[in-house]
A and B are shown apart, each in its own frame.
Chain A
Amino acid sequence: MKLLTIAKRGVGVAAFAGATALAMPVGPALAADPVVIGYIGSLSSDTGLSAYRGAQIAVDELNAGGGILGGREIKLVAADTQEDVTEGIKAYEYLNEVENADFILSGSIDDVSLGWLPRMAEFRTPTLDTWTSYIGIIEMVVADYEKYKMYFMNVGNDLALGTVYIDFGRDVLARQMGWKTVVMLQEDTAFAGAVGGFVGEELNAQAGIEVVETIVYDTQTVDFAPIYNKAAALKPDFLFLISSVNSQVPSSQYVKLQVPVPMTGINVAAIGLDFWNDTGGAGGGQSTFSPLPAIGMDFDPVSQAFVDTYIARYGDDRPIFPHFNGFNAYFGLKNAVAAAERAGGFEPLDDWVREMENTDVVLEKDGQLWHRYAYWKPGEIEPRTGLEFTHNIKFDMEAPYDDGIPPMVIIQWYHDGSPRVVYPPKYANGEFQVPPWIK
């Protein structure tokens, strides 16, 4: 009689499935003791590591100070997303249902945050994002506050970033430099397509700068000589590069080829201090926007203390200097904990949300507002755009920026390898320059 039957296979498959599931190490059974703070984000990208390290420093300082919520220790648990959308959902579930996280700090990129957002709404876990600036998420909070009220974004949204960038185009590129024509060099991604379209239209409308041509290149391009030759042949006043993938390649080739046209734009790699080494010292002249606090910026004393701690602890490991979201994670985590202290914990959710909305931490430098961690409240209208940005970090889009930080600054890498802030004037510690080979 054949004993190895399908019947027994059925038991085997079920047993295998059950056994693998049961063998999973489960998180702390007694969640009451430590306060569990989850970190969700990439642990292999510069921005993801910046945020994670910022959170680690904040947790260590809070624990060294005697813990929180009546002396409870904080346990920081990281869940790597690999910048993968599905991994992000699994990571969010893991932090909630295995580790029982009380609060989640995110260093996720746009689509990863959008991926776990439905889980956040389901679990009702207080969450603070430090990297994505996608305005669509803020629009979701505005449209359905009850569902998404536990979400806060510690970086200015895309619309705010873009608006200030147009101011830079008007004030510096058009008025100061006298430039009237531009060739857009944009990578073949939807991000670049969307940003390029917006920037092109607004530069024309608000700064009178005409887009002569838009050259779209593949993100895998390794030889930019033909592209730069084509752009230079059109004789524009400047080039506008939009690059979020492999940005070191067009940057270093621009310097090595000594392209005879000035270039500015959005260069994601250039917002980190590792950029100089990544380009082999050929990153001079590159300018890009960066959310605050940015490299090259003069810091207020509190932020400077964080920078010093970061460098002492991680200065030999990439990223050697915190990206903007490292600051946002450090201050964001402390602000979330402070809100929990005022509310009596991260639960009830409404109490924590109310106290988080009341957060108002002003960091001063030389007696003036230098940085501010506060959030737009429900129903509050931003005066320039006339829009609501509920739970986005409070920003100010008009000089003298005395009600909040500008959503971004423009930084430029000088040819001696030092990054400087060149716009807006309040934060500027350098002048916008053209490369020395351009007369």
Chain B
Amino acid sequence: MIPYRQLAGWAVFGGVMCLLPLVLPPGILRMVIFANFLAIFALSWDFISGRTGYVSFGHPFLIAIGAYSTAILSFRFDWPLIISIPSAVLITVISGLFFFVPALRIRGTYFALVTLAFMELAYQLTQVLRPDITGGTRGISGITSIVSGAVPNFYLSFSILFVAALLLWFLARTRMGTALAAVRMDEGAVTASGLSTIRLKLFAFGVSALVAGIGGAFYVHYLGSIAPRAMFDINFLFQILVAALIGGSTTIAGPIIGAFFLTFLLEYLRPFIDGPERFLIFGSVALIVYVLKPNGIYSILESGYGLALARFRRFRPEGGPAK
């Protein structure tokens, strides 16, 4: 059965977002672009960690593989972007297998720590292994942009977010998505029911790496520069995790909401608090929201909507139109 209502929701979401450049100045659009990319990364993380329960602390590793691959191929070897970006995505998907291998044997805290080690290892390697290619600690600056200006970059980044979110939403609705949720709840039961958890996890890790690779590749061409401290930074990891968790894990809307909330909260504070204190406030707000509503902002919006709907019904005569 075709989910018309849901598809209508996607159409409204896309339509409203496409109108933003008409009402927002370029400075705000720039922030939306960062929020779009953070949402892509959070969705990608949530697909592997939120849905399967394999919490990854090394997600920036995958994003950085995509970003560094296209940066190096295009900047150092003059590959056209039409080839360097797909190549980078392919390399990222293959690299996702590095995550998959430990997932065959371990999970929980141990898996999280192993993935964190991947990120740290890549951070060190980027600096010392062929710095003439990676740019070492200082990275690479002057990477080719795909488009220039706030509005074109907004549409580009939103298109990627929209397609990625739609893809993940579709996958989550399939039997495969249901099976992945079952892996999170009881992996042993899934195995006992005759399903191959190895294949399920391979699929989830592949999809997550695919989205991370696409996001990372386009992100670096938006930034125009890349440095190990930007890509393998623990703060970058935290932002991805917090965006997914504070927005609402295991949903599609949640990570998007979380990404926008985090990005704009920090930027709201900038004109009022120009020093590092704004990061303290940012962390405190995130903590309070998460403690009070562990299911994230999405659940707050959902319950708020439910409450409004209940009041609406109370004032409406049975079966009649609203007054």
Contacts and interface: CB of A to CB of B under 8 A. Distances in A.
Interface in B217-235: 223-225, 227, 229-230, 233, 235
A176 B188 CA distance: 76
13 contacts: A5-B6, A7-B5, A14-B15, A14-B17, A20-B264, A21-B32, A93-B27, A114-B141, A118-B143, A119-B224, A122-B224, A189-B127, A190-B127
Interface residues of A, number: 60
A140 interface: yes
Interface stretch (A24-32, A202-210, A290-298, A418-426): A24-32
A86 B236 contact: yes
Contacts of B230: 84-86, 111, 115
A10 B138 contact: no
A17 B27 contact: no
Contacts of A110: 137-138
Interface of B: 3, 5-6, 8-13, 15-17, 20, 23-32, 34-35, 127-128, 131, 136-143, 145, 148-150, 223-225, 227, 229-230, 233, 235-236, 253, 256-257, 260-261, 264, 267-268, 270-271, 274-276, 278-279, 297, 301-302, 305-306, 309
A186 to B, nearest CB: 13
A151 to B, nearest CB: 12
Contacts of B16: 11, 14-15, 17-18
Given A5-B6, A6-B5, A10-B13, A82 B274 contact: no
A90 B267 contact: yes
B28 A24 contact: yes
A44 interface: yes
Nearest to B139: A111
Given A13-B256, A26-B25, 7 more contacts: A6-B6, A13-B13, A16-B297, A25-B268, A114-B140, A117-B142, A118-B141
A283 B302 CA distance: 60
A136 interface: yes
Contacts of B25: 26, 97-98
A384 interface: no
Contact of A6 (B9, B24, B233, B276): B9
Interface string A102-128: 000000001100111111011000000
Contacts of A193: 128
A98 B274 CA distance: 14
Q: Which 4 A-B pairs have the closest CB atoms?
A: A118-B224, A10-B9, A97-B27, A6-B6
Contacts of A115: 139, 141, 223, 225, 227, 230
Contact of B271 (A12, A27, A97, A116): A27
A23 interface: yes
A43 B275 contact: yes
B309 A3 contact: yes
A117 B31 contact: no
Contacts of B13: 10-11, 13-14
Contacts of A11: 9, 12-13, 16
B163 to A, nearest CB: 15
A204 to B, nearest CB: 23
